[in-house]
Structure formats: C-alpha cells, structure tokens
Structure 1
Amino acid sequence: MRFFGYARVSTSQQSLDIQIEALKSAGVQKNRIFCDKASGRQMKREGLDLLRLKVEEGDVVLVKALDRLGRDTADMLQLIKEFDEMGVGVKFLDEGLDTKGTMGQMVVTILAAVAQAERRRILERTNEGRIEAKAKGIKFGRKRNIDRQKVLALRKQGLGATAIANQLGICRSSVYVIFKEGDDAITHIVD
C-alpha cells in the first residue's frame, strides 16, 4: 500500500504549505503529493489528473480536508467512485474519514452535500451583503486617484491622450476612459 497526497487552494495567492506539511506528517512522501491552485468547482485540474494516472489498486489518497478535493457533491462522489473502482481508498485527515466501507462512503456523501450547501450559502450571503451595500451607496472597486478635472482641462488645452498620460504619469487607456466619461456627462446635460 502506497500513500499519495492531494492538496488544493482556490487561487494562486494562497499557500499550499499547511496542507503539504499535514500530508507529509501523515506519511506521504513529497514526490507523491499532487497539488492544484484552482477552484474546487472544476474537476479538470492538472494535479488531480496526474494523481489519477499514478494511483493503483491498494493505494490510499490522503487529503487534508473534504473541501480540498472538490466543492460540488456530484463531482466529488464521481471522483470517489472512480477511485473506489480502481481499488484506491481516499482518506480525509481533518474529518478522520475514509471511503473504505459502506459507512465511510455514506458519511463522505453527507459531508460533501453539507460542504456544497455551505458554499452556496456563503455565496448567497456575500451577494446579499453586496446588494445591501450598493443600496446604501457604497462603491466597490479601487478608489479613483486620478484628477479627472485636470485630465479634462489638459484636453481642453489641446493636448492629446499620450501627452496627458506622460505629463500626469498615468496610462493612456485611463485618459481615454476619462475622455469617454467626460463626453457622456456632456451628452447627458445636452439631452
């Protein structure tokens, strides 16, 4: 029996270090740990695909937590079924669960459904908060730090976008956006 590990984070800014250390502590050799920096909603992941190719009957795949394998219940169950058909077990370290036996598979199924429901609820709360904030007039995105009036004043003086961008130390595309906003404001006043 060989141990393999799988670690995943959702974005390239996140670190895999904690998961990798937990897998190594559980007995997985470093060269048998497969990693992805991708959303758990996608089942097409490079590290996961490589892991599927490497494991053989009798092997065990260790994953730090259930949600690291995937977010969607149906996809996770399909993946666990695929491993099971190959004779490969899956063990989740944080939850202390494995897919060997009927009871283990049932518990994993329930927890996967709970994880998916939790993810959906988080998204709902986030969207509700965003809608409420917008209704209160809160603006999202980066704060504007370019003096728009100065850009438009330089334009009135006859300077072009490149000259304005160079003079103010901003990119030319920002100048064009301000030009367009200024033109739209003038159009609304005239209408």
Structure 2
Amino acid sequence: MALIGYARVSTTDQDLDGQRAKLELAGCSVIRSEKVSAASRAGRDELQTIIEFLRPGDELIVTRLDRLGRDTRDVLNIVHECEQRGASVTVLDPLVSTKGEMGQMVITVLGMVAQMERRFIKERQREGIQRAKERGVYKGGAARLDHDRIRKLKADGLGPSEIARAIGCSRMQVYRVLRSEL
C-alpha cells in the first residue's frame, strides 16, 4: 500500500510548496505535481500517470478537493477510476476518504461546491471585465508566454516538447502559439 500525493496549481506563477509540505506530513511516499487548470482533465498528465499506476490498497491524497478537479462529474470520474484500481482517495481539508460510505457522499457534495465556486469566480471575472471595459480601462490579460522566444526556439529547430521544457509551459500552449502565427 502506497500513499501517493497529488499537488496542483492553475498557473505557473503559483507555488506548490504548501501542498507538497502537507502531503509529506500526511506520509505520502510519492508526490506528483503540475501547474495546469483543473477545469478539465486535458493536459493533466501527472494525475493520469498516478491513476494508471495505482495498485489495490494504494491511496491518492490531495490537500483539497478542488486540487483534483473543479467539475463534479470529473471529480467523481477520477474517484471512480481510482476505485476501479482498488485504490482510495483522501482529501486532507476537510478530512474525507472514499474508504467509507459517508466519504463517497461527502466527496460528491464537495465536488458540487467546487464546481459552483468555479462558476461564481467566472461570473465575477466577467462582471469585472465588463465594468472595466465600460470605464475604458480594460487592456486584456497580460501575456503569460513569450511568443517571440517560442518562435525563435522553433526556428532554431527545437520541437514542441523541448520548447515547452525550456519555457516552462505545456506542449499544448506551444502548439497554440505556433498555430496562432499561421
């Protein structure tokens, strides 16, 4: 039986140290982490790797349920996949595990809350952008990637995977930048 930790933040400028420390305190022998949105499963390679290598009796541990996902169906699918492999899922805050019947129900409710929270965040963001546009002060989001550097690395012969490692982003982001240049 292994305790496997999963840490996730949404953007590259966020810090994973706090989550890692909590997962270490919980006794995780392996901790995988990534910097990617939990809006969907796309691009969450570390989570997929964990799920694929779970063995009966293993336990996937996250600090909060929203680290696993922001969509109720997605969270429930992840929990189901873990259980299909004979593993359980434990959330540290609040402490809930799928080992018991009540844990299943609580995780379902927490998943619904995470999804609702995501909707509220998006709505507040849209309202704020609209107000800023009305005042004439909206300039759009700051560019998160150096498009010129990506194009230069591509021109230098690097492939998307190598560029992604050099820049510190996902391959998909590299593809999007290169595709937008066509």
| TM-score normalized by the length of structure 2 | 0.73
- Could you tell me which amino acid in structure 2 is paired with residue 121 of structure 1? F
Deviation at residue 81 of structure 1 after TM alignment:
0.8
**1:80-99 superposed Cα distances (whole Å, 9 cap, x missing partner):** 01111211110001110111
Rg (Cα) greater in structure = 1
- Could you tell me which amino acid in structure 2 is paired with residue 39 of structure 1? S
Deviation at residue 101 of structure 1 after TM alignment:
2.2
Q: Classify the secondary structure of the residue corresponding to 1:57.
A: coil
- Could you tell me which amino acid in structure 2 is paired with residue 83 of structure 1? C
Matches within 5 A, 1:33-48: 33-44=31-42, 45-48=44-47
Q: Classify the secondary structure of the residue corresponding to 1:91.
A: strand
Is 1:95–2:94 an aligned residue pair?
yes
Is 1:137–2:142 an aligned residue pair?
no
For 1:141 and 1:86, the matched residues in 2 are separated by 44
**1:43-67 superposed Cα distances (whole Å, 9 cap, x missing partner):** 1311111101221001111101110
For 1:141 and 1:88, the matched residues in 2 are separated by 44
Matches within 5 A, 1:29-178: 29=29, 32-44=30-42, 45-141=44-140
Tell me how many residue pairs correspond in the alignment: 140
**Paired residue for 2:28?**
28
Q: Classify the secondary structure of the residue corresponding to 2:27.
A: coil
- Could you tell me which amino acid in structure 1 is paired with residue 28 of structure 2? V
Q: Classify the secondary structure of the residue corresponding to 1:71.
A: coil
**Paired residue for 2:15?**
15
Q: Classify the secondary structure of the residue corresponding to 2:6.
A: strand
Q: Do 2:129 and 2:138's aligned partners in 1 also have CA atoms closer than 8 Å? A: no
**1:135-180 superposed Cα distances (whole Å, 9 cap, x missing partner):** 12223249xxxxxxxxxxxxxxxxxxxxxxxxxxxxxxxxxxxxxx
Deviation at residue 8 of structure 1 after TM alignment:
0.5
Q: Classify the secondary structure of the residue corresponding to 1:111.
A: helix
Long gaps (5+) in structure 2: 142-182
**Paired residue for 1:3?**
3
- Could you tell me which amino acid in structure 1 is paired with residue 24 of structure 2? K
CA gap 1:131/1:23 in 2 versus in 1, 3 angstroms: same
Deviation at residue 13 of structure 1 after TM alignment:
1.4
**1:108-151 superposed Cα distances (whole Å, 9 cap, x missing partner):** 00111011101101110111121122112223249xxxxxxxxx
- Could you tell me which amino acid in structure 2 is paired with residue 37 of structure 1? K
For 1:74 and 1:26, the matched residues in 2 are separated by 26
Q: Classify the secondary structure of the residue corresponding to 1:138.
A: coil
| TM-score normalized by the length of structure 1 | 0.70
For 1:105 and 1:49, the matched residues in 2 are separated by 21
